[in-house]
Chains A and B, each alone.
Chain A
Amino acid sequence: MANFKENIKRINSSESISGRMPDYDAIVVGAGNAGSAAAITMASKGLNVLLVDRADPPGAKNLSGGVLWGNDLAEILPKWQTEAPLERFIDNKKIGFLTEKSSIVIDFKTEFFRDNKIAHSVLRAKFDPWMAKKAKEAGALVIPGITVESLAIEDRTVVGIKESGDTITANVVLLAEGVNPRLSIEAGLRKPLQDRELSVGVKEVIKLSAQKIEDRFNLTKESGMASEYIVGSLGNLNIGAFFYTNKESISLGIVSPMEELRRNGVTHTYDLIEKFKSHPSIAPLIEGGTTIEYGAHLIPEGGIDSVPQLYGNGYMLLGDAAGLAFSNGLVLQGMNYAIVSGIKAGEAVAEAKARNDFTAKSLAVYEQKLGSTYALKDLKTFKDIRKVTNNPKMYTVYPQLLEGILLETLWERGQPKKKTRDVIGEAASKLSVGKVKALTDLYGIYRRM
């Protein structure tokens, strides 16, 4: 990737090319959340759009933990809550720590979530083909089962895509190819992601009857629960876990920074998810269930620093391909970021078409538009969040500290009781965390989170 900078420069500095009649106004590579949102936005504005995905049905192999926040989706598909293949609306969110023997969880169940039903668990194998179908209904030509091989670049401008020796041309190519954006990297439009910018997610879908799910988690027919855990029971490893209810299955999994796994020589993430599943407070929740799906996927977690230049002559980067995902240990969101980037990119293409100018200068409006949404703002606000989520104490010492404090205060052992201050002090010294260090850490978390 030595000529990466030079490539970008070459691509960005060219003038608008005239005299060619491209096949499409826009080609979208990838029918994930980002690509379909872009295709829907553009096709509804009457643009001539081609959306290509390597899976058939489109997007069918994509993977998420599975809670979709639908604020942005509602903008392009107002009837999504009744039409989309959704699992359960989330009205119960839990966050907590797991230690070897305990779980410490905040259980937040609220009518606020119930009233607007904006968060839903989804299974991407159903949800993504639905979104692609919506793109087709809006007028886009959706072609499944084709892997785009490379980008066609002429005069420092992306002019189309190549496959089986054919070139299909467009004014703009929208790269929504996901977390491992091979085409963008090979064309020098962005750098390959480094270990420190990636996390690995491993997920299982476990079949369980609706009845069992509703009984076990105190849910109604439509409502659902989503929990996130910081796992402090797996030694020094920095592991987060999620546990979501679907209609007739549970989606659960673990997430860990790539660096962390490499540093600790972990090659079998499978063991980690097994350990999470067998935790004393998780195992009973999935008892009697059978694993029906298993998958692993990368997550871009480099934050704002790993977001590349989002546009150039004849192209834009969307969703995961642009590193647009957010995680702070309590939430992991990428689908909504993908959708909002798709909408903004689509709007930018429509405006560029009105100007008949698809140069970098004209497409810059994409970044302006995205910059005014939460998507880029969040990544800026939480610029240093990795310092918190990568702080090993978050996964080792603090969960145990909390456990120690709760044991002292909530466990009657026929001993004289202590003041909370002393409890904390003793628990901290037992784990040999300096009080000052703990306080600065807490302050750091407070400041960055």
Chain B
Amino acid sequence: MLKIAVMIKQVPDSQDITIDPVTKTLNRSQARNVVNPPDVNALEAALLLKDKEGGEITVITMGPPMADVALLECMGRGADKGILVTDRFFAGADTWPTSYTLASTADYLGGFDIIFCGEETTDSSTGHVGPGIAEFLGYQQATYVNKVEYEEPFFIAERDIEGATETLRIGKPAVVTITLNANAPRNPTLKKKIEAYKKGITIVANKDLKLDPACIGLKGSPTIVKDMKTVADPVKTPVKPGIEELDKVISVLVERGIVK
């Protein structure tokens, strides 16, 4: 019986985002929210582990109240519990207080045998948060993993390194970050979603965590965004697909030593 957590973040669907040229901030108002894609792979990796070893999966997100649907979606895929970490004190966090608050939440929930994260988010893509949680909690960690198995008392994590697979054996408790497309996530089912919506989620606020307000949210964030530049789309020369063009592509690839 493993005690498993999956950290997920609700992100705007990247297809719907534009950048406000004046304020230089991302305009997410038109965007539909989705679960950060690699987090769906992280959840699937956790579900595969649970299928084999048994256990309980808790999905955790820090975000605004409307992020509850992201948790319910994950419960519809098979997670057992949803925890929404939300409080105005947590707002405006950069990766440092985000990692700190999430690590504190894991601690508050009694700690876990293994915590799954995505490799990075599509809206900020720092990739800091997984390793940050591991450091705050003092857990072992493995990043850019695509498969996790359990061989008591170790986790075996596989990561693709260019042209080879690296297999790591890490101790318990551990944090792993999972790559995008590491696996084929199962879909939510109606029956599980009904259970999820009936069960609901649990809210954790700072009155539960009792963290120093100077260390969380905007106040606890050492970085601020100074400037953002909008980059023009690179000019693409359209290539009409045909045998000749294909030959050209191949010759360029050969020229550059990419294929032999």
Nearest CB in chain B: distance from A169 CB, A: 12
Taking a contact as CB atoms closer than 8 A, the residue among A141, A145, A161, A164 that contacts B73 in the complex is A145
CB of B73 within 8 A of CB of A143, answer no
Contacts of A57 in B (CB 8 A): 32, 69
Tell me if B64 is interfacial: C-beta within 8 Å of chain A. no
Report if A163-B191 is in contact (Cβ < 8 Å); known contacts: A56-B69, A145-B76: yes
Tell me if B108 is interfacial: C-beta within 8 Å of chain A. no
Tell me if A146 is interfacial: C-beta within 8 Å of chain B. yes
Tell me the B124-178 residues at the A interface (CB within 8 Å): none
Contacts of A345 in B (CB 8 A): none
CB of A145 within 8 A of CB of B194, answer no
Report if A168-B190 is in contact (Cβ < 8 Å); known contacts: A56-B69, A141-B198: yes
Contacts of B194 in A (CB 8 A): 50, 141, 143, 168
State A163–B187 Cα separation when bound (angstroms).
11
CB of A164 within 8 A of CB of B191, answer yes
Nearest CB in chain B: distance from A205 CB, A: 11
> Chain B interface secondary structure, helix, strand, loop or mixed?
helix
CB of A164 within 8 A of CB of B197, answer no
State A145–B32 Cα separation when bound (angstroms).
13
Tell me if B54 is interfacial: C-beta within 8 Å of chain A. no
Q: Is the interface on chain A under 10, 10 to 19, 20 to 34, or 35 or more residues?
A: 10 to 19
CB of B188 within 8 A of CB of A146, answer yes
Taking a contact as CB atoms closer than 8 A, the residue among B32, B190, B197, B198 that contacts A60 in the complex is B32
Tell me if A423 is interfacial: C-beta within 8 Å of chain B. no
Tell me if A148 is interfacial: C-beta within 8 Å of chain B. yes
State A168–B32 Cα separation when bound (angstroms).
29
Tell me if A166 is interfacial: C-beta within 8 Å of chain B. yes
Contacts of B190 in A (CB 8 A): 52, 143, 146, 148, 161, 163-164, 166, 168
Nearest CB in chain B: distance from A160 CB, A: 11
Report if A166-B32 is in contact (Cβ < 8 Å); known contacts: A56-B73, A145-B76: no
Report if A143-B193 is in contact (Cβ < 8 Å); known contacts: A56-B69, A56-B73, A164-B187: yes
CB of B189 within 8 A of CB of A163, answer yes
CB of A164 within 8 A of CB of B189, answer yes
CB of B193 within 8 A of CB of A145, answer yes
Nearest CB in chain B: distance from A385 CB, A: 38
Contacts of A56 in B (CB 8 A): 69, 73
Contact with A along B171-213 (1 / 0, CB 8 A): 0000000000000000111110110011000000000000000
State A143–B190 Cα separation when bound (angstroms).
8
State A60–B13 Cα separation when bound (angstroms).
14
Contacts of B73 in A (CB 8 A): 56, 145
State A141–B190 Cα separation when bound (angstroms).
12
CB of B191 within 8 A of CB of A168, answer yes
Nearest CB in chain A: distance from B97 CB, A: 30
Contacts of A142 in B (CB 8 A): 197
Contacts of A145 in B (CB 8 A): 73, 76, 188, 193
State A127–B125 Cα separation when bound (angstroms).
33
Report if A166-B69 is in contact (Cβ < 8 Å); known contacts: A60-B32, A141-B198, A145-B76: no
State A315–B97 Cα separation when bound (angstroms).
53
Contact with B along A131-144 (1 / 0, CB 8 A): 00000000001111
Contact with A along B64-99 (1 / 0, CB 8 A): 000001000100100000000000000000000000
CB of A141 within 8 A of CB of B189, answer no
Tell me the A42-101 residues at the B interface (CB within 8 Å): 50, 52, 56-57, 60
State A142–B191 Cα separation when bound (angstroms).
13
State A52–B73 Cα separation when bound (angstroms).
14
Contacts of B198 in A (CB 8 A): 141
State A142–B193 Cα separation when bound (angstroms).
10
Nearest CB in chain B: distance from A130 CB, A: 14
CB of A143 within 8 A of CB of B32, answer no
Contacts of B69 in A (CB 8 A): 56-57, 144
Tell me the A146-165 residues at the B interface (CB within 8 Å): 146, 148, 161, 163-164
State A144–B32 Cα separation when bound (angstroms).
14
Nearest CB in chain A: distance from B121 CB, A: 20
State A232–B23 Cα separation when bound (angstroms).
47
State A148–B190 Cα separation when bound (angstroms).
8
Tell me the A412-447 residues at the B interface (CB within 8 Å): none
State A205–B189 Cα separation when bound (angstroms).
33
Nearest CB in chain B: distance from A377 CB, A: 37
Nearest CB in chain A: distance from B82 CB, A: 15
CB of B76 within 8 A of CB of A166, answer no
Contacts of A52 in B (CB 8 A): 190
Nearest CB in chain A: distance from B98 CB, A: 25
State A143–B196 Cα separation when bound (angstroms).
10
State A50–B69 Cα separation when bound (angstroms).
17
- Can you name the residue of chain A whose Cβ is closest to the Cβ of B193? A143
Contacts of B187 in A (CB 8 A): 164
Nearest CB in chain A: distance from B29 CB, A: 12
Instruction: From B73, B189, B191, B197, name the one whose CB has the most chain A CB atoms within 10 angstroms.
Output: B191
State A56–B73 Cα separation when bound (angstroms).
10
- Can you name the residue of chain B whose Cβ is closest to the Cβ of A55? B32
State A161–B194 Cα separation when bound (angstroms).
13
Nearest CB in chain A: distance from B189 CB, A: 4
Contact with B along A163-180 (1 / 0, CB 8 A): 110101000000000000
Tell me the A107-147 residues at the B interface (CB within 8 Å): 141-146
CB of B197 within 8 A of CB of A141, answer yes
Instruction: From B73, B190, B191, B194, name the one whose CB has the most chain A CB atoms within 10 angstroms.
Output: B190
> Which 4 A-B residue pairs are closest in the complex by CB-CB distance?
A164-B189, A163-B190, A166-B191, A146-B190
Instruction: Show 12 residue pairs from A and B whose CB-CB distance is below 8 angstroms, ordered by the A residue.
Output: A50-B194, A52-B190, A57-B32, A141-B197, A143-B190, A143-B194, A145-B73, A145-B76, A146-B189, A146-B193, A148-B190, A161-B190
Given contacts A60-B32, A146-B189, A168-B194, 4 further A-B contacts (CB under 8 A): A143-B194, A146-B76, A164-B187, A164-B190
Residues of A within 8 A of B (CB): 50, 52, 56-57, 60, 141-146, 148, 161, 163-164, 166, 168
